[in-house]
Amino acid sequence: MTEATDRHSVLEAHAGECAECRNDAAALDRIGRLLQSSVVRVDVAALSQHTMTLLRPELSRRARSLLVRRVLTATLLALLPLPLVLIYDAYLLDAFYQIARLLLPAAIATYLVATYVAFLGLLFGGTYAAIPLLVARRATAAAASGE
């Protein structure tokens, strides 16, 4: 059923109930023609596209802000146990150095400890550098699945 016939049937139904309108059929016809001529055409697709064009900058700004907040939160949470890990590593490295110092010359023991410290630095750096990448990938996957 089209919108015009829908309006017409509503007018006919009203005329069936209302004696005043039933007696003045000409006025009812005029009202019907006026309603038919005043149909507003709305292009829903174009309206949606225009709205999305207007909203896109704000949506991307909010998405960036949310991503930054998530990355900061994840990084701060990951940094919480770091002091304990560093203290524990320092304790282990000191013990290792003391043992190596008994068996090897001091220069070689120092070299071994320094090499291990450099390796640990690389490991920690890689781990903490991966956090933003993992959070961004997870956020992208969540956005793609529509969460």
Please give the residue ranges that form the binding site for Zn ion (CB under 5 A): 18, 21
The rounded distance, in Å, linking the Cα atoms of 143 and 7 is: 43
Q: How far is the CB of 16 from Zn ion (least distance, A)?
A: 10
The rounded distance, in Å, linking the Cα atoms of 111 and 102 is: 14
At 63, which amino acid appears?
Answer: A
Q: How far is the CB of 39 from Zn ion (least distance, A)?
A: 22
Compute the C-alpha angle 83/84/89, nearest 5°: 95
The rounded distance, in Å, linking the Cα atoms of 131 and 97 is: 32
C-beta of 21 vs 71, nearer to Zn ion? 21
Q: How far is the CB of 31 from Zn ion (least distance, A)?
A: 10
DSSP state letter for 31 = H
Q: How far is the CB of 52 from Zn ion (least distance, A)?
A: 43
C-beta of 25 vs 82, nearer to Zn ion? 25
Residue with the closest Cβ to Zn ion?
Answer: 18
The rounded distance, in Å, linking the Cα atoms of 4 and 39 is: 8
C-beta of 16 vs 105, nearer to Zn ion? 16
C-beta of 21 vs 74, nearer to Zn ion? 21
